């Protein structure tokens, strides 16, 4: 009997830059917004895709998700076999590592895939195909869950500024902007951390450019709140922004230096129709307000 040759992992290796606590903002958002889904699932599996040269992000993801959903299991997936081998000593109950790429080589579909700083090196034209491949690997909606979640985004080296897109099996749902507010001069500083699908679209005439422009205007108008702290100023700016943009979260998340908006509001024209069955606004995964 002829044995089937192993499938070559899909994708290319990243630089592998990994710093402890780098992805804390994304992890905390996932725990707050998707924790209930993880708890409802019988055996929730989460993938840390492209964990890099060190396994810290996978270790931290396990700890943060288990704080809200104790049954969570994390699998770190890396396309570089040497990185997988180096991570193996960190294997523990609920955490393991596997060689692979965008095909996500697991026997069952995960409830969550986190892909941070993975698509930065790819061409913009490749993003939709990667999103489709990863969304197809997510757990479908079931009796107790609304289906899996893909969180894909980019942050700076120490996690002060971060922007990510949340996608369900049907495609993009929301985009979240998050920052350490004390280091922020204005909201548009986050433009340098836009995900690959958006970073080249921060030009006049594109929705994401208009969003960041309006956010800067709202930030300037909220300057009097600065006397009470950066959080108060951010909250005031987001309240103003929500009058013109479909902000889908509330003060509980704004106090964390976040704001989440409907993906459709910032979707580039180049991606229009790429996911025709996108969920309507209001069906995204968001934290209680």
For residue 208, the domain's CATH number is 3.40.50.150
The Cα 27–Cα 241 span in angstroms is 25
**pLDDT value of position 176:** 98
The answer to whether the CB of 238 falls within 8 A of the CB of 184 is no
**pLDDT value of position 137:** 96
Question: Does some domain include residue 145?
Answer: yes
Strand order in the sheet with 161-168: 95-99, 73-78, 45-49, 112-116, 149-155, 161-168, 171-179, 258-262
The answer to whether the CB of 136 falls within 8 A of the CB of 157 is no
**pLDDT value of position 246:** 98
**pLDDT value of position 12:** 83
**pLDDT value of position 277:** 53
Q: 219 is in which domain, residue-wise?
A: 24-266
Question: Does some domain include residue 62?
Answer: yes
The answer to whether the CB of 56 falls within 8 A of the CB of 19 is yes
Global pTM? 0.92
Residue pLDDT tens, the chain, 289 long: 444 445 788 888 887 777 889 999 999 999 999 999 999 988 899 999 999 999 999 999 999 999 999 999 999 999 999 999 999 999 999 999 999 999 999 999 999 999 999 999 899 999 999 999 999 999 988 766 778 999 999 999 999 999 999 999 999 999 999 999 999 999 999 999 999 999 999 999 999 999 999 999 999 999 999 999 999 999 999 999 999 999 999 999 999 999 999 999 999 988 888 886 544 444 344 443 3
DSSP H helical segments within 118-229, as ranges?
127-136, 196-199, 207-221
**pLDDT value of position 52:** 93
Question: Does some domain include residue 96?
Answer: yes
Question: Does some domain include residue 4?
Answer: no
**b/e map 59-79, b = 16+ CB within 10 Å:** bbbbebbbebbeebbbbbbbb
The answer to whether the CB of 169 falls within 8 A of the CB of 140 is yes
- Please measure the distance between the N-terminal and C-terminal CA atoms of the chain and give it in whole angstroms: 59
Q: Would you say the C-alpha torsion 72, 174, 128, 277 has a positive or negative sign? A: positive
Nearest to 138 by CA among 147, 129, 130: 147
Question: Does some domain include residue 13?
Answer: no
Question: Does some domain include residue 185?
Answer: yes
**pLDDT value of position 279:** 46
Question: Does some domain include residue 17?
Answer: no
The Cα 77–Cα 39 span in angstroms is 23
Q: How many domains does the chain have?
A: 1
């Amino acid at each position: 009997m002829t044995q089937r040759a192993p499938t070559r992992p899909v994708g290319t290796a990243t630089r592998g830059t990994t710093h402890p606590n780098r992805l804390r903002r994304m992890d905390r958002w996932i725990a707050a917004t998707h924790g209930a889904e993880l708890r409802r699932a019988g055996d929730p599996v989460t993938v840390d895709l492209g964990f890099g040269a060190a396994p810290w992000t996978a270790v931290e993801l396990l700890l943060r998700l288990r704080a809200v959903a104790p049954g969570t299991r994390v699998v770190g997936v890396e396309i570089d076999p040497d990185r997988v081998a180096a991570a193996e000593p960190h294997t523990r109950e609920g955490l393991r590592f596997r060689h692979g790429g965008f095909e996500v080589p697991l026997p069952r579909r995960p409830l969550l895939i986190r892909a941070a700083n993975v698509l930065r090196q790819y061409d913009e034209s490749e993003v939709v195909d990667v999103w489709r491949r990863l969304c197809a690997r997510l757990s479908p909606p079931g009796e107790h869950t609304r289906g899996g979640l893909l969180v894909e985004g980019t942050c700076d080296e120490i996690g002060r500024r971060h922007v990510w897109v949340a996608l369900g099996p049907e495609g993009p749902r929301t985009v979240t902007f998050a920052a350490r507010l004390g280091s922020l001069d204005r909201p548009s500083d986050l433009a340098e951390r836009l995900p690959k699908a958006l970073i080249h679209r921060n030009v006049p005439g594109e929705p994401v450019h208009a969003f960041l422009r309006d956010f800067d205007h709202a930030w300037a108008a909220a300057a009097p709140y600065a006397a009470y702290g950066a959080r108060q100023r951010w909250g005031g700016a987001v309240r103003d922004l929500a009058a013109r943009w479909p902000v889908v979260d509330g003060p509980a998340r704004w106090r964390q230096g976040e704001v989440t908006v409907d993906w459709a509001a910032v979707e580039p024209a180049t991606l229009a129709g790429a996911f025709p069955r996108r969920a309507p606004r209001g069906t995204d995964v968001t934290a209680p307000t």
